[in-house]
Amino acid sequence: LATGDRDTARLLTEDLHEADLGAILEALEPEERTGLIQLLGTAFDFTALTELDESVRVQILEELPAAAVAEGVRELDSDDAVYILEDLDAAEQAEILAQIPSIERQALKRSLDYPEESAGRRMQTEFVAVPPFWTVGQTIDYMREEEDLPESFYEIFVVDPAFHLLGTVALSHVLRSKRPTPISELVDEAHHLVPATEDQEEVARMFERYNLVSAAVVDEDGRLVGVLTIDDIVDVIQEEADEDLKALAGVNAEEEISDTVLWTARSRFPWLFANMFTAFVSASVIGAFESAIAGMVALAVLMPIVASMGGNAGTQAMAVTVRAIATRELRGRTARRVLARELSVGFLNGAVLACFVGSLAGFWFGDPHLGVVIGIALVLNLIVAGTVGVLVPMTLDKLKVDPAVASSVFVTMTTDSVGYLAFLGLATWWFALR
């Protein structure tokens, strides 16, 4: 790269898979990335850009001349092209689109007009559609002669003259039938239609549930406009699971390890800020028992144990509930069964742990009464933890708030506050400290 030796660079990258070429781009210093791409010129496969973190991709696209990007994007399947263009701001998009011939530009624009994270954004606009009265032989001949078909595909669509979908035929069924067989005999009518405006998360759930490999995308008039294939959906599934995990930990779903310090700090701040208020709420519970603590400092030493263990039990119940909601397992009758189960689990584990914690605390401060008090407080807090662990995500889901994002704040605030309240309140009453 340093010597600008174009032939060697081309030779070295020629046989690389796009994913590996992408990895090389990410490992390079930011200044060197566009250098490599321009060195490779037309030999650079723009598909590699789809494998990059968003921040790296945007950096590269902004530095490359619009004409070069336009040419590279034209070589791609429409879904990859849209994926690359969608992160750019409107002015840059327009500049690149202006360099693309009209027909292709229209198709890209239509896809970009669909909302973010919708099926329309992810779909491929190249597909094979045939009328039902064709035979297998005609279909095979058409596919042999037609130039403008997708790189690879797994199903062909059967449509009426108005481009309404009548059904699908798996390629393997076409191959395994005799040439004179009419396509209409092979059609599988139990197809799954995806409206172009559908959220990608819903689409991914459909693919998973019905083990689909591809699905037809239709516009508001029910006309076939594209196809979604499983390889796009795999990325969506991975993204959505990632979002849930990060959301539970209070991290923005879009955070990537290549983001800048300032961006990261700012995106994590709101969560910590919310946590500050909940922490003050719990602290005010403690504040109500200042005189009890002044009379018996051991209470201050032991109280975080009750709060921390409740927090953990609540997080366990919450994680299971959030996942069950995300995978649509939790509804109606199941919900009540799950709540009952969490209450019982909280009571059981609370009772067993109370024996351990009670004994340890009793011995530590040489006061069995303290052990009894902390034990009872722990059982109470673990039952509450199980309850809020189920109820908070379920309530948020009903209120159309993403339970993964907001649950933790409420659950830990409750387990902290109830932990302090139960322990300090019980101790005040038991030892008559007031």
Contact flag: residue 262 with a second copy (CB under 8 A): yes
Q: Of 275-294, which residues contact a second copy (CB under 8 A)?
A: 275-276, 278-280, 282-283, 286-287, 290, 293-294
Other Cβ atoms closer than 10 A to 185:
12
Q: Does 91 bind a second copy (CB under 8 A)?
A: no
Q: Which is nearer to a second copy, 3 or 152 (CB)?
A: 152
User: Candidates 32-40, 90-98, 242-250, 392-400 — which segment interacts with a second copy by CB under 8 A?
Assistant: 242-250
Q: Report the distance separating Cα 403 and Cα 182, nearest Å.
A: 50
* Residue number, 89 or 145, with CB nearest to a second copy: 145
Least CB distance to a second copy at residue 177 (A): 7
Sheet holding 155-159, edge to edge: 129-130, 155-159, 165-170
Q: Which residues contact 70 (CB under 8 A, 6 or more apart)?
A: 96, 97, 98, 99, 100
Helix residue ranges per DSSP H, 288-367: 290-295, 298-326, 333-364
Helix (H) or strand (E) holding 204: helix 200-210
Residue 233 makes contact with a second copy by CB under 8 A: yes
**Closer CB to a second copy, 68 or 289, in the complex:** 289
Interacting positions 117-176 with a second copy (CB under 8 A): 140, 143-144, 149-150, 152-154, 170-176
With CB under 8 A as the contact rule, the residue among 61, 345, 383, 421 that binds a second copy is 345
54 neighbors 254 (Cβ within 8 angstroms): yes
DSSP letters along 230-296, please? HHHHHHHHHHHHHHHHHHHTT--TT--TTS-HHHHHHHHHHHHHHHHHHHHHHHHHHHTTHHHHHH-
Report the residue number, 51 or 104, with the smaller CB distance to a second copy: 51
70 or 309: whose CB is closer to a second copy?
309
Write out the binding residues for a second copy, residues 173-192 only, by CB under 8 A.
Answer: 173-178, 190
Tell me the number of residues near a second copy by CB under 8 A. 107
Q: Which stretch binds a second copy (CB under 8 A): 4-12, 92-100, 220-228, 253-261?
A: 253-261
The residue from 37, 56, 60, 338 that contacts a second copy (CB under 8 A) is: 338
Range 346-405, binding a second copy (CB under 8 A): 348-349, 352-353, 356-357, 360, 364
Nearer to a second copy, 93 or 177 (CB): 177
Pairing of the two strands 155-159 and 224-229: unpaired
Residues 296-325 that bind a second copy (CB under 8 A): 297-298, 300-305, 307-309, 312-313, 315-316, 318-320, 323-324
Output the smallest distance, CB 98 to a second copy, in A: 30
Angle at 123 between CA 66 and CA 205, to 5 degrees: 135
Q: Which residues contact 175 (CB under 8 A, 6 or more apart)?
A: none
Largest Cα–Cα distance in the chain?
95
Q: Pick from 355, 302, 351, 346: which is nearest to 320 by CA?
A: 346
